[in-house]
A = this chain, B = another copy of it.
Amino acid sequence: MTPCTKPPKSSPKVGTANLSEASLTGEFALIARLRARLPAIGDDAAVVALPPGDLLLTADAVVSGVHFDLDLVGIDDVGWKALAVNVSDVAAMGGRPLHALVTVAGPLATVDLDALYDGVLAAAEVFACPVVGGDLVAAPVLIVSVAVTGTLDGSAPVLRSGAAPGDVLFVTGPLGSSAAGLELLRTGRGSEAPDLALAHRRPRARVAEGRAARTAGATAMIDLSDGLASDVRHIAEASGVGVALDRVPVAVGVARATGDDGVAAALGGGEDYELLFAAPDPGRVEDAFSAAGLTRPLAIGRCTADAGERRLADGDLPEGGWEHTW
């Protein structure tokens, strides 16, 4: 991956401890351990080399009690997810990640930062997205705020806004696993379907799939973070097209976990982090995914010329996706 020469610190103030803090006493032994695991860290800012072409930039944060419950998931899972959801945003443009900046705010004396970084660094390795900087700050609640860079390797990004009538809509895999896994964890049944629980705890960013979709001429793409019902509307609205879905592919085990047909979890559960994309040529899509050694994506419907259309089979596409409650 891109070589890092010297990396970051921060602007430490009361309660701030940047990852490059030089004189370490007491609590700073912790920082020393982290630094040993983050060899790229150490100056005011990271200096990184880049491949040619445009840069992708994205940032997402997860908050304890809002986006995760440490009674249900491990703090290592939180670290994984904080990185993965950012990588997923890069994947949704057809790019691949380059670097991550990880800022942890929380009651640092009581947070298991080693475990948190276990998850961060596991994801960084799996997604080939090294952590080159960040910040550690004292706060009354645990928040992991991540920013990620990515590259398109000289290609054009796949935006949300390029879908045209007639384009076929695909998802990169069946849906509902994360919502079903959360439901199992909430009801103490996580061990009944460990794969579903894992889908919730450690979502996979579909980087290779996003690149294959771009190669296949995808005209619009988004990652399924809110849920299909909500996210397909984002593509429709940005592109000015209608959408007519034929079906909602539900992942194995979701119906059993949720006690219904699983469609609600697939439409509105969110956090699956599969990609939804539109493409004009299904044959080209199949070829591109096959050439990349990837499972064929699932055609779920098409874009239509009636910009107001939001259809599922013979009925209206339900509203759905996570409610944003403030």
Contact = CB atoms under 8 A, between A and B. Distances in A.
A14 B323 CA distance: 6
Contacts of A322: 12-14, 16
A153 interface: no
Interface stretch (A154-162, A166-174, A256-264, A282-290): A154-162
A65 B140 contact: yes
A101 to B, nearest CB: 4
Nearest to A222: B44
Copies in the complex: 2
Contact of A159 (B6, B138, B145): B6
Contacts of A57: 7-8, 45-46, 48, 99, 101, 132-133, 149
Contact of A10 (B58, B141, B270): B58
Going nearest first, the 7 A-B pairs with the smallest beta carbon separation are A147-B147, A145-B145, A11-B85, A45-B58, A59-B101, A44-B92, A11-B225
Nearest to A210: B44
Contact of A56 (B28, B47, B59): B47
Interface of A: 5-18, 21-23, 27-28, 42-50, 54-63, 65-67, 85-86, 88-90, 92-93, 95, 99, 101-103, 105, 107-109, 132-135, 137-141, 143, 145, 147-150, 152, 157, 159-161, 221-223, 225-226, 230, 233-234, 237-238, 270-271, 273, 322-326
Given A47-B152, A93-B44, A237-B23, A223 B11 contact: yes
Contacts of A325: 14-15, 138
B44 A160 contact: yes
28 contacts: A6-B161, A10-B61, A15-B63, A16-B60, A16-B61, A23-B230, A42-B160, A43-B93, A43-B159, A44-B88, A44-B90, A44-B160, A44-B223, A46-B56, A47-B55, A49-B55, A50-B55, A57-B132, A58-B101, A59-B102, A59-B145, A60-B135, A61-B103, A63-B105, A63-B138, A66-B137, A139-B143, A140-B140
